[in-house]
Amino acid sequence: MNDGKHRERVIDADGHIIEPPDLWERYLEPKYRDRAIRIRVGSDGWEYLEVDGKPAQCTARGTLGRLSSMGRQVQEMKRMRDEWVKGGRKGPPPFIKATPEETYLKGAGYGTMDPGERLKKMDQEGLDTSVLFPTLGLNWEAETTDAEYANACCRAYNRWIADFCRDSGGRLVPAAHISLGDPHLAARELERAVKDGCKIAFISPYTITRKPHGHPDHDVVFAAAQDLGVPLAVHPNFEPREFTIHTRFEPIRGGAGIWYGDMFTNQGSIMAFATMFVYGVWDKFPRLRFVILESGAGWIGWWLNRADALYKETLIGGSLPLSECPSYYFDRQCFISGDPDEVVLRHIIDYVGTGKFFWASDFPHADHPVNYMEEIFELVEKMSPAGRRGILGENVARALDLN
């Protein structure tokens, strides 16, 4: 698949698709179909996301057309940004303005909605395999506290993504969406989705019950993932304001507020990950594999140092129900995905462990740059051979048991 210069297996651990707007109307069971997730157009002409018959509160009107704009207007965005900065930043940033004409379907670029197009794009880039996650699927769970409904919406999406990837010869890998609202329903759906072809399942950084991820009520899900031999991942989603970590201050307005929010999206994932230690999940489920996605990876070296120091040397650390220090469990059971432009990874991969890191494009989402293939090969250029092979593809292939 590669261009001759790069012969390693190259796997994108976290790419995204753009779901067809009628997915839930087609794939939900009849019992829930009148409550399907939909894209509506209001009387003002603006598109909006509808969840369970109500307009979504966490997805702003007019933004659906920009969910997949990676690379679509990169140069234009840069020009607009430079003009706005030179003009004294008067008014709102021009690149966050939208128009009713920027619709969800118009915003879906090449390779985002059609599996054949995605495979052609991967061939052009030298990608062997892509693990696929949703887009609208990262928005809707923040809008409901109905666990049965959430499970039904997950089930509909999981059936669809398995169909989307089915004829790709294993190059498109479906990731199942699991909601922890009802752990027994979640475990049952995980088993069904894996039998249907899903190789990994992801959960949100929050839970609609507000129970910590490592809570014993979720043990049935951990047991299912362990027995099925599939990793469980935490992936950032849109979050309800009352759940999110961004509510310490009054809302930060304007374009810089978007920057501020994006800078700290990983905090929810880190907190969810930490609860797995608090409740001793690793000793209870020693074969469970856990993945941290789209939350950066440069922080993991410091985090493990701090966690080990507290565990070994303080009374506070003695409260953890663990038989080994935190870094032991990370090395045994965990993986983390970094961005291609995280140059700090060159300095920590060998220290933390060459077998622990993935890379991911986040294609086609707008908060990551479009030149990810160039950046990932620049990143690995000065790495050890083991670190290079691992992050390019060997680690995710091993974690997900990809052929």
Helical axes 183-195 vs 219-228, angle rounded to 10°: 10
* DSSP 3-state of 292: strand
CATH topology of domain 11-42+110-399: TIM Barrel (3.20.20)
**Residue 335 in tokens:** 């993986």
pLDDT digits (tens, 9 = 90+) for 65-112: 877 766 555 556 667 667 777 777 766 565 556 688 889 998 888 999
pLDDT digits (tens, 9 = 90+) for 211-255: 999 999 999 999 999 999 999 999 998 887 777 766 677 776 666
pLDDT digits (tens, 9 = 90+) for 362-403: 999 877 778 899 999 999 998 999 999 999 999 999 999 998
Q: What is the predicted pLDDT for the residue at 90?
A: 66
Q: What is the DSSP string of 44-58?
A: TS-EEEEETTEE-SS
Q: Are strands 38-41 and 54-55 parallel, antiparallel or unpaired?
A: unpaired
Give the separation between CA 202 and CA 235, rounded to whole angstroms.
6
pLDDT digits (tens, 9 = 90+) for 3-45: 445 578 999 999 999 999 999 999 999 999 999 999 999 999 9
pLDDT digits (tens, 9 = 90+) for 258-305: 777 777 788 889 999 999 999 999 999 999 999 999 999 999 999 999
Please work out, in degrees rounded to the nearest 5, the angle formed at the alpha carbon of residue 12 by the alpha carbons of 72 and 156. Answer: 85
Contacts for 274 with CB less than 8 Å, ≥ 6 apart: none
Give the separation between CA 153 and CA 51, rounded to whole angstroms.
10
CB atoms within 10 A of CB 330: 24
Q: What is the predicted pLDDT for the residue at 342?
A: 93
pLDDT digits (tens, 9 = 90+) for 294-306: 999 999 999 999 9
Q: What is the pTM of this model?
A: 0.91
